[in-house]
Amino acid sequence: MSLVAELKRRNVFRVGVAYAIVAWLLIEVASVLLPTFDAPDWVMKAFSSLVILGFPLAVILAWAFELTPEGIKRESDVDSDESTTRTRGRKLDFAIIGLLAVALIYVVVDNYVLEAEPEQASVARGKPIRSLAVLPLENLSSDPEQTYFADATSNELIRELMTIRDLRVPAWTTVRGYRDTPKSAREVADELGVAALVEGTVYREGNRIRITVQLIDGREDRHIWVESFDRDFKQLLSLQREIAREVANAIDIQPTARNKTISLQLSELIPVHSMPI
């Protein structure tokens, strides 16, 4: 008997197809449920790896063993006249058809039922923004050395926004080259691969700071939101968190309990006593 014929007789192909469908369904369901419980990203990666590694194991077991009325036996120990592979094969065929039906229903519901409402909302509000870049904030102080303070503020704002789940924010090293760029918002957004841009100005006089931030839709080159914040310098860290929350609200992303702030103390980056006033 040829190898292919023997694989068919032992239902190895059927087991492989059934396992692949079940594995896909498990990974899809896990990708929805795990974020709901705020599971770390490594949990999904570990789960997917285990499911994938189980495929060759299932195929090997299907080849080497057979399920009989007396239990699981090695295939070599089962007489061909007593083999139940043909009956098991028909049952596997029905199981595969059922699994395919479940997978088809899942795809239809996920793509056409659950997404119907967001698509309707996107007609009115535009496509949702899930990525943005914070461009270097402009220093409006008369002292050019305050540019370093403006850059540090931009960097800290990036850190705050990066803690928000479901929002992709390029790092400071990626965006700092766009200071005073003559390119349009759409060109910058295309180059950075983001949907929106955050830009603004920083002005410090004595112990008072004023930060003006505006959010621009890079896909349509239009302003979405703009706000000015006046605070005491000692309130700078809380102000950065406040700005990040306002930006998140402007793009309709609600920060959750998982979005812990992990910012470095600004005073560790720029000692207050060394700041020109």
Mean pLDDT, range 66-79, rounded to an integer = 62
Which pLDDT tens digit goes with each residue over 104-142? Answer: 888 888 777 654 444 433 333 456 788 899 999 888 887
Distance of CA 220 to the CA centre of its chain: 23
**Short-list 41, 39, 38, 60, CA closest to 49:** 41
Domain ranges of the chain: 3-114, 132-274
Q: Which residue has the higher pLDDT, 69 or 235?
A: 235
3-state percent helix, strand, coil for the chain, nearest multiple of 5: 55, 15, 25
Residues in Cβ contact with 23 at an 8 Å cutoff, skipping those fewer than 6 apart: 51, 52, 54, 55
Q: In the chain, which ranges are E strands?
A: 65-68, 71-74, 132-134, 138-139, 196-205, 208-217, 222-232
Q: Are 26 and 34 in contact (CB under 8 A)?
A: no
Residue for token digits 């609200």?
Answer: 249
Looking at domain 132-274, its CATH superfamily turns out to be TolB, N-terminal domain (3.40.50.10070)
Mean of per-residue pLDDT scores for the chain: 76
Name the DSSP letter for residue 96.
Answer: H
Q: Say what the pLDDT of residue 151 is.
A: 87
Which pLDDT tens digit goes with each residue over 177-196? Answer: 888 888 888 899 999 999 89
Q: Rounded to the nearest 10 degrees, how much is the dihedral formed by the CA atoms of 146, 147, 148, 154?
A: 120
